[in-house]
Amino acid sequence: MNKIPVAILGATGLVGQRFITLLKDHPWFEIAELAASDNSVGKRYGDAAKWQLPVEIPEHLKEMELLPSDPVRVHAPLVFSALPTDIAGYLEVEFAKRGAIVSSNASPHRMDPDVPLLIPEVNHEHLGLVEVQKKKYDSDGYIMCNGNCTTIHLVLALAPLHKRFGLKKVLVTSMQALSGAGYPGVASLDIIDNVVPYIGGEEDKVETEPLKFLGTYADGALRHADIRISAHCNRVATRDGHLETVSVEFADKPSTGDIIAAFDEFRGLPQELELPLAPAHPTVYRREKDRPQVKLDRDAEKGMATIIGRLRECNVLDYKFALLGHNTLRGAAGATVLNAELLYAKGMLKEHEAKMPIRERNR
Amino acid sequence: MNKIPVAILGATGLVGQRFITLLKDHPWFEIAELAASDNSVGKRYGDAAKWQLPVEIPEHLKEMELLPSDPVRVHAPLVFSALPTDIAGYLEVEFAKRGAIVSSNASPHRMDPDVPLLIPEVNHEHLGLVEVQKKKYDSDGYIMCNGNCTTIHLVLALAPLHKRFGLKKVLVTSMQALSGAGYPGVASLDIIDNVVPYIGGEEDKVETEPLKFLGTYADGALRHADIRISAHCNRVATRDGHLETVSVEFADKPSTGDIIAAFDEFRGLPQELELPLAPAHPTVYRREKDRPQVKLDRDAEKGMATIIGRLRECNVLDYKFALLGHNTLRGAAGATVLNAELLYAKGMLKEHEAKMPIRERNR
Amino acid sequence: MNKIPVAILGATGLVGQRFITLLKDHPWFEIAELAASDNSVGKRYGDAAKWQLPVEIPEHLKEMELLPSDPVRVHAPLVFSALPTDIAGYLEVEFAKRGAIVSSNASPHRMDPDVPLLIPEVNHEHLGLVEVQKKKYDSDGYIMCNGNCTTIHLVLALAPLHKRFGLKKVLVTSMQALSGAGYPGVASLDIIDNVVPYIGGEEDKVETEPLKFLGTYADGALRHADIRISAHCNRVATRDGHLETVSVEFADKPSTGDIIAAFDEFRGLPQELELPLAPAHPTVYRREKDRPQVKLDRDAEKGMATIIGRLRECNVLDYKFALLGHNTLRGAAGATVLNAELLYAKGMLKEHEAKMPIRERNR
Amino acid sequence: MNKIPVAILGATGLVGQRFITLLKDHPWFEIAELAASDNSVGKRYGDAAKWQLPVEIPEHLKEMELLPSDPVRVHAPLVFSALPTDIAGYLEVEFAKRGAIVSSNASPHRMDPDVPLLIPEVNHEHLGLVEVQKKKYDSDGYIMCNGNCTTIHLVLALAPLHKRFGLKKVLVTSMQALSGAGYPGVASLDIIDNVVPYIGGEEDKVETEPLKFLGTYADGALRHADIRISAHCNRVATRDGHLETVSVEFADKPSTGDIIAAFDEFRGLPQELELPLAPAHPTVYRREKDRPQVKLDRDAEKGMATIIGRLRECNVLDYKFALLGHNTLRGAAGATVLNAELLYAKGMLKEHEAKMPIRERNR
């Protein structure tokens, strides 16, 4: 089978490295191009990346020459973007205009009204928004986004509850891992024997993105969910895995049994379509009194699930619980790849490739 | 000046060690007796204590022989208790019955209706409850308690707000330091690169103790405050210093300026009486966007203040902020000593000593 | 194919947990019995073990009832021992006397003259010693040991050098991970923001065990190697993976190229026999200036190799380098299992089983 | 008394911050000027410094405007340099030429034949070298240096041994704290749950600087000590405090009692002159089996001593021991200030000021 050639933008960073490991043996995608910032262009990937993962880089990727993040130089029809915030906004549009499908982990376009902010188990129907983009760009290309790493796991836990019982209020405190800040990211002297109760821009994302994820799509337009969310975001000294404590209030208060059943039974299109990266269970409820824990649960279900535990009554809102998720897998690179797998399984990539004869010829 | 002889129960543990360092050069108190668990009785303190602090034990205390935690053997009129929970309940009563004043850091008697649960800046008038105990025990002795380490700092931050504006709801998530679990306490393999979203019994204390602290004392009885509090308690890999994120709702919503003024201006009896261990400011509001931080702020004001920051509107309740406090100083040993200093400054210890002729003679 | 039934003694501890994960899908061995200390006997394994690993316990093992560590109750012909030091000495002999082959990770018998202290790549011929034991115990059972976790990786690095060039002096400083102390092991307050330059009994093991590993076996007897080894052992705040810095002096000083070739080319019987747990390369020399590193290299080759780097001239001895190895895989449970795999591949287990008709019937 | 006005170059970094805390209440020196890199010039110190220490910056220093590191703009007769390596070499000479005495923590001039590399307890007579500089620069200014942070503590431990018994060989492995790399320095992802066996340039400094420190000064020239030193330098996840394990060989092997006596009795000029920052005991030998430890011993003697322990026979060289020292106090800023205090106590600063009428007038 011919695999779809893909490009990785921002390939040398932490999320870029996760893309590499997720895509190196992918059944449907093949890494064709790697792009990075100007000071790395022209270097071998193995020389430019400060590799952080305990698996080796595949030899042929080590040797691959880094391209600039430029749609004129990068030709793959499907582009995974781990671009830095300050340039992602402009560059992703350029890629889309030139016909590329951009599956992005960057934040600038997440809240654009015509960009689907996607978790395939939660709101795959939002994909309809890409038609608006195609028209706007007069192109077959478009951008689709995954959310912030803290948001994604929050939404995975909230979605089954919101769908069944209707959420009104959510108060969340996060304890976020260091890899969430990229590399070099947080200085060691700033975090060893410390907690920092501030992460720039994070709380706003956690308070607003879920409203779009949980919003209703109809007739080419999206209505955001009507939930009040408040977030306290903190950085702690863990390598990977964001832990969140959450209190929730419902329109119609269910029983704890109802809630646990909602977590246990939650499935979506990725499970139905058996997407390669889909977890068997997107939400896993653990019965132990002291779970989820970062070191024990972040790698469950290949790092693609949200692990929940400690459901109990809350004196202020209705219920409270803790949740945990891997921030660079389901919270970043894994989410971006899963979104692309959804396109593939729906036939949206084949169709797209067929329309890209010129780019194809360039390869 | 003759100093008051004092005993330390549970002297070898982490809180006991903090008692030693706080009392070794105290202007009013003098360490006369050290008591510990059975397997340490008869040993030199320096041999029995697994010393954890970066200051040396005073030489004469190193040599002091450890007594059993038995009111027949321990004669000091003032007793600081860092006894383990399972034996504190019974033993503290025995000490009180035999005429000792017990300033306790242990939890069993905190919620007893006739035991003052005391933060001198917040509710010194609750001391009136000791008269009930004296009658019950037919003794000049009694027990007074300080709160849980997470509770104390929460209450110090809430008190100025509750007094001025009236609190209705509080939702708090704690990120607690390792010393809060004592020694050996948390196994290193359980916490390095980890967060544990569970601390046995902690949430219940944080949800109930503040209602007593902030309650109203009149005519020998106490009415608990009518506030709904919900807590999520987590253990993180810091040595000392509990960080808490807090959302609050008021009866009458003040402005942020009003709240900051309440923190800035908060003073109490310890400041007025210039108690030796009193912080100049019991609550310190920091204006930086990323404070308080554990490593930078836990030692402010000799570890006796609560440091607050990041006040901002909350989408679910009225406001939210972060607070930090040293858990074994103001959150434990420092609180216990400050409570005793209050007695001294009020003349309640002199009076007490005068009535203890037999115990005096034993010394 | 019928798998060999095996028992795990000390199954609930950290090394026991590693046995579980290494043996749960083993092609030749099948976990038939789990044994633990008295206070766990009769419990389900899932209830008694404080599980530390980020993979789930297989469901059927979770349900398995724990037996006492008693050769009358445990019948498997092959026994993996992670018994605590204080009881391993006596109990392992009892198992051997009753006909069991004991592959042990415990230290008491390591230096016994008739017990093979085994690293299959290094000294498989020492297995001849078991005949001495069989006679002594008048049994088909015997004990074979792997070394201390720091020693094993040191010996894996020294063996190719000693065989080619003859070692005279070795000076090693270790920086050892927390899992080396078992669970609960090191208290978090003793190691966060700390290094402890002392590990009880460790330096003696590191200085003496290599002399046996690298000794010469002939005619049923062993002559220890004539090397002077000095060790400084330190505990640092890492979860898994012991790092060691080593200076060496040779009888005949080779070139750095010779030494690197020795590391690159080192292979042994496990590689030849393709034992299931054998690493492709038992010693891996890395060319980067800042490797090996704990987090990046401990899991290389399934945690079964010793990773070496930074070879350079030493001003005091001839050369110096750094090495790293996983302490609970190749340094403990993995070593014990590999030793048993060697027996299997040599046919020594089949033969053994054939002679154990009564025990077989008991199963 | 008029205090000597001093300037701090590189005032915003970690070592600069330590200068601030050591000098803010100094009896002899007064901070007159603060200088920093170009992007901080003109800012308030409180805005430009990313403050890392758990004590507050004095208010008047917070407000002080940062100057460029330029001898035309900075006029203090005594200059403390924490300049980055790449510019310290040139700039320190410029300051010396214009008449300033430069007490430097930077490395470029340490090994210059006419620059004293100074530990006042060890080699104060090397100060004679400054006359060579004065002639060369035709100025009253000169440079004097302290050593590398790992070297200084090693030399403090070796000096009493070398003076009494004559050292021949030293093999040292360091486990160095994060503050040794400055700020932001080591990325948290590079060190949590990790050890890095490489610090650029460090081993060379540790192997060569001690030979100058322990060298012999006579007739305006210095003869380096004839000792063979080999170093393995590692970075570990501690905030402050370098731990080193050391093996040594003597010309004439003393007894362990002799060695401990040498550590116990070691004193020097700073103790005799009662310099403000001098520790009572520059070397402290601890008898416990598991000391020194980073968290317990780094702050002993105000962070100005070297703490030693675990002396025992070495199988390869004669003896081995562990040592610990605070890397940014006695290992950096404290050393630089102590060197300047020595000048003051010897009258070399008064004399110097008298000759600087023009610079004085500028102030």
DSSP A175-216: EE-GGGG-SS-SBGGGTTT--B---TTHHHHHHHHHHHHT-E
Cβ-based contacts of B53 with chain D (< 8 Å): 296
In angstroms, rounded to a whole number, what is the distance separating the alpha carbons of residues B230 and C16?
40
Residue B16 has pLDDT above 70, yes or no: yes
A257 three-class SS: helix
Cβ-based contacts of D243 with chain C (< 8 Å): 195, 197, 234
Burial class (CB in 10 A: 0-12, 13-18, 19+), D278: buried
In angstroms, rounded to a whole number, what is the distance separating the alpha carbons of residues A186 and B293?
14
The verdict on a CB contact (< 8 Å) between B316 and A230 is yes
In angstroms, rounded to a whole number, what is the distance separating the alpha carbons of residues B184 and D20?
37
D293: nearest CA partner in chain C: C196
Top residue of D240, D295, D316 to mutate, by most chain C CBs within 10 Å, is D316
Beta partners for residue C83, in sequence order: none
The pair of three-digit structure tokens given for residue A249, joined into one six-digit string: 């209030």
- Give the model's pLDDT for residue A150: 98
Q: Higher model confidence: residue C87 or residue D56? A: C87
D1 three-class SS: coil
Q: Choose the closest CB to B237 out of A237, A290, A315.
A: A237
In angstroms, rounded to a whole number, what is the distance separating the alpha carbons of residues D203 and D185?
18
CA C197 vs CA B54, C81, D284, D311: distances in Å = 17, 29, 16, 12
Nearest to C9 by CA among C143, C188, C198, C209: C143
Domains of chain C: 4-146+332-362 (3.40.50.720), 149-326 (3.30.360.10)
Average pLDDT of the residues in D260-280:
98
Q: How confident is the model at residue A362 (pLDDT cuts 50, 70, 90)?
A: very low
Q: Which residues contact D154 (CB under 8 A, 6 or more apart)?
A: D170, D172, D206, D210, D244, D246, D323
Q: What is the DSSP-derived secondary structure letter of residue C187? A: B
In angstroms, rounded to a whole number, what is the distance separating the alpha carbons of residues B127 and A237?
42
Burial C189-225 (b: 16+ CB within 10 A, else e): bbbbbbbbbbbeebbebbbbbbbbbbbebeeeebeeb
D298 reaches B (C-beta below 8 A): yes
CB of B136 closer than 8 Å to CB of B129: no
Chain B, residues 276-295, CB within 8 A of chain D, namely 295
Which stretches of chain C are DSSP H helices?
14-23, 45-48, 59-62, 85-97, 120-123, 130-137, 149-165, 202-213, 256-265, 269-272, 294-297, 334-345, 348-354, 357-362
CA B199 vs CA B178, B232, C213: distances in Å = 11, 9, 46
CB of A301 closer than 8 Å to CB of A284: yes
**Other beta carbons less than 10 A from residue D54's beta carbon:** 13
Q: Choose the closest CB to D243 out of C197, C310, C317.
A: C197
Beta-strand pair A101-104/A142-145: parallel
- Give the model's pLDDT for residue B182: 94
Which stretches of chain D are DSSP H helices?
14-23, 45-48, 59-62, 85-97, 120-123, 130-137, 149-165, 202-213, 256-265, 269-272, 294-297, 334-345, 348-354, 357-362
Q: How confident is the model at residue D355 (pLDDT cuts 50, 70, 90)?
A: low
CB of D180 closer than 8 Å to CB of D153: no
Beta-strand pair A78-81/A167-176: unpaired
Is D124 in the active site? no
The pair of three-digit structure tokens given for residue B176, joined into one six-digit string: 């607690």
CB of A212 closer than 8 Å to CB of A189: no
Residue A357 has pLDDT above 80, yes or no: no
B239: nearest CA partner in chain A: A193
In angstroms, rounded to a whole number, what is the distance separating the alpha carbons of residues C153 and C169?
17
CB of C124 closer than 8 Å to CB of C118: yes
CA D257 vs CA A120, A242, C212: distances in Å = 73, 54, 33
Q: Mind listing the pLDDT tens digit for each residue in D155-181?
A: 999 999 999 999 999 999 999 999 999
- Give the model's pLDDT for residue C128: 96
Q: Which residues contact D162 (CB under 8 A, 6 or more apart)?
A: D214, D225, D227
D178: nearest CA partner in chain A: A189
Q: How confident is the model at residue A124 (pLDDT cuts 50, 70, 90)?
A: very high
The structure tokens 């002199």 sit at B350
CB of B158 closer than 8 Å to CB of B228: no
User: DSSP letters along C74-126, please?
Assistant: ---SEEEE---HHHHHHHHHHHHHTT-EEEE--STTTT-TTS-B--HHHHGGG
φ, ψ for residue D18 (rounded to 5)?
Answer: -65, -40
CB of A84 closer than 8 Å to CB of A59: no
- Give the model's pLDDT for residue A358: 41
Q: How far apart are the first and last CA of chain A?
A: 17
Single-letter code of the amino acid located at D275? L
Residues of chain C falling short of pLDDT 70? 1, 354-363
- Give the model's pLDDT for residue A55: 86
Q: How confident is the model at residue B357 (pLDDT cuts 50, 70, 90)?
A: very low
Mean pLDDT score across all residues of chain A: 95
Residue A322 has pLDDT above 90, yes or no: yes
**Other beta carbons less than 10 A from residue D198's beta carbon:** 18
Beta partners for residue D283, in sequence order: D306
Angle between helices B202-213 and B149-165 (to 10 degrees): 40
Q: Mind listing the pLDDT tens digit for each residue in B250-275?
A: 999 999 999 999 999 999 999 999 99
Residue A87 has pLDDT above 90, yes or no: yes
Chain C, residues 170-209, CB within 8 A of chain D, namely 170-171, 173, 175, 193-198, 207
CB pairs under 8 A between A and D: 60
In angstroms, rounded to a whole number, what is the distance separating the alpha carbons of residues D329 and A210?
49
CB of B125 closer than 8 Å to CB of B144: no
Predicted complex ipTM = 0.95
Write down the pTM of the prediction. 0.96
Q: Which residues contact A270 (CB under 8 A, 6 or more apart)?
A: A120, A121, A277, A278, A279, A282, A338, A341, A342
Beta-strand pair A78-81/B306-313: unpaired
- Taking only Cα atoms into account, the Rg of chain B, rounded to an integer number of angstroms, comes to 20
B326 reaches D (C-beta below 8 A): no
The verdict on a CB contact (< 8 Å) between C298 and A192 is no
Residue A361 has pLDDT above 70, yes or no: no
φ, ψ for residue B281 (rounded to 5)?
Answer: -125, 115
Cis, peptide link before residue B160, omega less than 30° from 0: no
Mean pLDDT score across all residues of chain B: 95
Cβ-based contacts of B310 with chain A (< 8 Å): 197-198
Q: How many residues does chain D have?
A: 363
In chain B, what is the greatest distance between 2 CA atoms, to the nearest angstrom?
63
In angstroms, rounded to a whole number, what is the distance separating the alpha carbons of residues A114 and A110?
9
Q: How far apart are the first and last CA of chain C?
A: 17
Cβ-based contacts of D192 with chain A (< 8 Å): 178, 188, 191-192, 237-239
Is D145 in the active site? no
The structure tokens 């012991």 sit at C242
The pair of three-digit structure tokens given for residue A55, joined into one six-digit string: 């698996």
